[in-house]
Structure 1
Amino acid sequence: MTKIDKHGEVFRADRRRFLRGAATAGISAAAAALAAPAFAQEALNNIIAAPQRGNWNDQFDARATNAARVATNQPILSLQTLGDIQTAIASYSDIAGRGGWPTMPGNAKFQIGMSDPAIEILRKRLMVSGDLPKEAGISPAFDTYVDAAVRRFQARHGLPADGVMGQFTYAAMNVSVNTRLGQLQTNLGRLTPLANETAQNPRFVMVNIPAARLEAVEAGGVVQRHTTVVGKITRQTPILASNINEVIFNPYWHVPKSIIKKDIIPLMRKDPQYLTKNKIRLFNAQGQEVSPESVDWNTDDAVKLMLRQDPGKINAMSSTKINFNNPYSVYMHDTPEKNFFFNLMRFDSSGCVRVQNVRDLDVWLLKNTPGWDRQHIEDTIKSGINTPVELTDPVPLHFVYITAWSTGDGVVQFRDDIYKMDGAAELALGTNT
């Protein structure tokens, strides 16, 4: 509980820190411009003077030579990332001092093969942020250079890297450099205590809520990454620190009272067979099973009952439930609804965290628990028998809210401020809509 309170205090200060950081960045940029007016435009002048290259007819593919890899095995919660985010802050301060980047006009869905005067502005925008090499030059062509640069930009912002200029790519590009600088400073404050704490842990799991991603970290490197589904805006996944102490195979799902009230009761009013179809049984306070027909679903009486779903493929947690002590009654789990993992923004749970390819995580969590190798795990799941397993070595767990970070090589990552914790309206891009 102390850890949760400590991290919560850091987050409560984030909005104030962001606004101070953004204001400071603006003042610094203005001072730099006054001190050296010509210097403020140097970045764009260099771009404009660059050789004209990269037209549609050129026979090359820039995808293979794009500057820096976005993927890395460096953990977000690491001392290395602290250093890298400080480097990113210095870089973005420099960009701000040079006048920032141009705003992309309109909303045309440019893609490879197209030509438009606005693509010249797009090239300048991508060059200033380091996504497009200056050698690509300025031209109205959306060629393979620009396609690769847009894909890199999209990947850095958690968007589908398809090279198509869509609504959310425009929105991300038009966030000002001062706002991005403030966002980096805010997240440096969030990361600092977490990175120092996890540096003491040989193994830990991190769920980054805005990215809807999980990292399993061992010996200073990411050994597994998993796509996740996290809480809706109205039912947010909490920020917390705990220890994973149990994995349950073929779990029962005890339906939370909030879901009974908000979801089950309305569903039963529409379809009286809903509970039966989904193998959810009702029990009273004495542990006696109650028939759904005996409940008045036009009232909230069902909240007084315990609703439990039997293990199986349609169980809300499918094969696995991962437990850890916390005051929010949340956990991580498998899901029968695998299609949600392929959504652009995965904010669809009631606060718990659904994990893609969770069996790989099960194996890693239980590697130090005797008798629980991959084959035994698979056999246990296949049996359909509810089987709780206590970890021999509990694994530290962190649910965090990190919307900006850097992992070296000039790759700076940003994510949609989905829960609006960063203190700037333009950072909530609305990608959940």
Structure 2
Amino acid sequence: MADNDRSSFLSRRTFLTSAAALGGAAVSGAAFGQVAMDDVINAPRRGNWDDQFDAKASRTAAAITTRNPIFGPGASANIQQAIYDYESIVANGGWPKVETSVKLKIGMSDPAIAQLRKRLMISGDLAQSAGISNEYDSLVEEGVKRFQARHGLPLDGVIGKYTLDAVNVPADTRLMQLRTNLERVNAITTDLGQRYVMVNIPAAYIEAVEDNRVAQRHTAIVGRISRPTPILDSKIYNVTLNPYWTAPRSIVEKDIMPLMRKNPKYLADNKIRLFDNKGQEVDPSTIDWNGEAPKLMFRQDPGPINAMASTKINFHNEHATYMHDTPSQGLFNKLSRFESSGCVRCQNVRDLTTWILRDTAGWDRARIEATIKTGVNTPIQVANEIPIYFKYVTAWSAKDRIVQFRDDIYQMDGAQELALQTGLNQEPAVANN
């Protein structure tokens, strides 16, 4: 912890599991403590439609981007600073609730926008010089985009349902969330390594970190609530190009069996073949699909419809979990990316593969691409195994005091209002592990 004298502020709940992703609000505890809301309310009024965009006054969403990893050397101290700042916000009454039954967007005039302005000012997303008015001008739009960037929401600058839900999470609940995640970060005592991969599950995103700087970031698809992605520490030992996909027993029982009852051609259509424990192929027509799932291997051939598409990244773990490519690239554009059966799908996985295999002789980007084109199953042992961490961190801060929050998708933070997107999760297609 950054300051032992402040330890009494920490919520010492039993930590459900060890933890760790990207995002935040530049807030100053001292500033919020000194500026009364009367000063904010009486600030110069703004809101005429001919307002000139003030990039300095409105901190832009682009400012959220940082190369600081979530688990950098100052991770604990950065969250502790955010806790101090949010303690000041809470001590000064928190922020107002924005009450509206309609979407708020640029060009509108509505009393709820005055509430929104106050809310964004207090969290540091809107400069106080923007003033309080009922007008949704360009400054408010940019402040909303900045807020959305800190909360992992689409940057449309509109107060719709999910942005409104996030805006209306009380300040004391966010403070609790920060304290919970400080405990999670402090529980990480492992030497992460000079190069490592980190998957932050609630953020549904991946960092490739080198020398305490983020070398690559990737959007991810992680496990849905009913089949969560496990928290783990491991090492990447193998990359397989044009992989076979072997269906886990859970998918065979929950998905494939019912699908075969409905469509006896399902396995053939999806190029999934059955093998016994001697490696002999079994004819699907000999199986009673209305009975129990057969104790056979269900293996999908490499190819464009393979559940892992071009690439599988293997690491040691007891959960049969791995990272992989996907033929369903459109899923990366979704707001709620909790769609898998526990494994992690990685957008632009070939960039990550190139980074992982950098020290493996002969495997540059050109050879990787050429091998994928052949369609031949090609396992590659990683020359120097790379540490990989699957963590669960819903709130964090960088050294620039930009605080980021994510939905508590697995409901581990202890407050129902933090699990904002859980209603978006639906059962995915069977071949998407």
- Could you say whether these structures have the same fold, taking a TM-score greater than 0.5 normalized by the shorter chain as the test? yes
Alignment partners' CA distance in 2, 1:346 and 1:432: 12
Contact 1:248 1:387 in 2 (8 A): yes
- 2:222 match: secondary structure: strand
- Does 1:396 find its partner at 2:390? no
Query: Offset at 1:63?
Result: 5.5
Structure 2 counterpart of 1:43, one-letter code: A
**Number of residue pairs matched by the alignment:** 398
Alignment partners' CA distance in 2, 1:76 and 1:124: 29
- Give the one of 77, 88, 105 matched to 1:111: 105
- Does 1:50 find its partner at 2:43? yes
Structure 2 counterpart of 1:84, one-letter code: N
Alignment partners' CA distance in 1, 2:309 and 2:150: 32
Change (3 A) 1:282 1:78: same
Deviates more, 1:235-244 or 1:41-50: 41-50
- Does 1:81 find its partner at 2:82? no
Alignment partners' CA distance in 2, 1:65 and 1:369: 48
Contact 2:199 2:207 in 1 (8 A): yes
- Give the one of 285, 309, 315 matched to 1:293: 285
Change (3 A) 1:301 1:92: closer
Structure 1 counterpart of 2:14, one-letter code: A
Residue of structure 1 in register with 2:415 after alignment: 424
Structure 1 counterpart of 2:196, one-letter code: F
Contact 1:344 1:431 in 2 (8 A): no
Residue of structure 2 in register with 1:27 after alignment: none
- 1:382 match: secondary structure: helix
Change (3 A) 1:238 1:12: farther
Residue of structure 2 in register with 1:242 after alignment: 234
Q: Taking every aligned residue pair, what percent have the same amino acid on both sides? A: 55
Query: Offset at 1:40?
Result: 7.8
Query: Offset at 1:384?
Result: 1.0
Query: Offset at 1:269?
Result: 1.3
Contact 2:59 2:142 in 1 (8 A): no
Change (3 A) 1:173 1:254: same
Alignment partners' CA distance in 1, 2:56 and 2:354: 35
Deviation string 1:10-58 (CA, Å, 9 cap, x unpaired) is: 9982379xxxxxxxxxxxxxxxxxxxxxx98953112112111242232
In structure 2, the gaps of 5 or more residues are 1-10, 18-31, 425-433
TM-score by length of 2: 0.88
Query: Offset at 1:263?
Result: 0.7
- Does 1:207 find its partner at 2:199? yes
Structure 2 counterpart of 1:268, one-letter code: M
Alignment partners' CA distance in 2, 1:15 and 1:257: 26
More helix by share: 1
Query: Offset at 1:82?
Result: 2.1
Alignment partners' CA distance in 1, 2:232 and 2:377: 27
Q: CA RMSD in A?
A: 1.9
Alignment partners' CA distance in 1, 2:123 and 2:16: 25
Residue of structure 2 in register with 1:21 after alignment: none
- Does 1:225 find its partner at 2:226? no
Alignment partners' CA distance in 2, 1:157 and 1:187: 15
- Does 1:270 find its partner at 2:262? yes
Change (3 A) 1:193 1:79: farther
- Does 1:342 find its partner at 2:333? yes
Deviation string 1:259-287 (CA, Å, 9 cap, x unpaired) is: 00111111111211111011100112232
In structure 1, the gaps of 5 or more residues are 1-9, 17-38
Change (3 A) 1:316 1:47: same
Change (3 A) 1:398 1:98: same
- Does 1:175 find its partner at 2:176? no
Residue of structure 2 in register with 1:356 after alignment: 347
Alignment partners' CA distance in 1, 2:12 and 2:273: 40
Alignment partners' CA distance in 2, 1:181 and 1:315: 44
Residue of structure 1 in register with 2:431 after alignment: none
Structure 2 counterpart of 1:14, one-letter code: F
Alignment partners' CA distance in 1, 2:361 and 2:33: 62
Structure 1 counterpart of 2:37, one-letter code: L
TM-score by length of 1: 0.88
Deviation string 1:154-206 (CA, Å, 9 cap, x unpaired) is: 11111111011111111111111111111101101111233x534x5100000
Alignment partners' CA distance in 1, 2:200 and 2:53: 34
- Give the one of 126, 134, 140 matched to 1:140: 134
